[in-house]
Amino acid sequence: MSDLIVVSFDTEATAFEMRAELVKLQKEYLLEMEDVVVVTRALDDKVQLHQSANLTALGAASGGFWGLLIGMIFFNPLIGVALGAGAGALSASMTDVGINDDFMRELGQRLKPGTAAVFVLARKFNTPKVVERLGEFRAKGHILQTSLSHDDEATLRAALEAKAT
């Protein structure tokens, strides 16, 4: 079962730094994420989702490959690439993997203009080691929502919301 963690920050830069740190933790096998997204709310109140993977581009590349392959069979690889890339991009743009985009936009509307939040969908993580590594974000974040156990949430809240000593 996956856990959702949403942490808000006063600056967009801090949110992007946290996402980068979470990716490092995943590479070190301390955390296994299904999705991680930075949601920003601009000063003009526009909410923007910064996905970690561009599914449309991945779909276009995959569709282009398969279109080329099929096009070669029918002796017209250029048309195959164009049709495959278009179909792949279209299907990928309609796919929502991980955290629901509408949910993130809705929660993003509650952010103050000029701030950001990190949405993490984690399958598993080593709570003590992850919390220790997130020490540089001490007193910078605010937990908006989690599906963690009460103990894990309290540990994470203490690490991110407590004043630096």
Domain residue limits, the chain: 3-53+99-161, 55-93
Residue of higher predicted confidence among 161 and 38:
38
9 to 15, 65, 76, 102: CA distances (angstroms): 6, 40, 52, 20
Identify the CA nearest to 4 among candidates 137, 110, 156. 156
Q: Class for domain 3-53+99-161, per CATH?
A: alpha beta
- At 159, the pLDDT band (50, 70, 90 cuts) reads confident
pLDDT in tens, 96-142: 457 888 888 998 899 999 999 999 988 887 778 888 888 888 888 88
| pTM over the 0.75 mark | no
pLDDT in tens, 57-80: 455 555 555 565 566 566 666 665
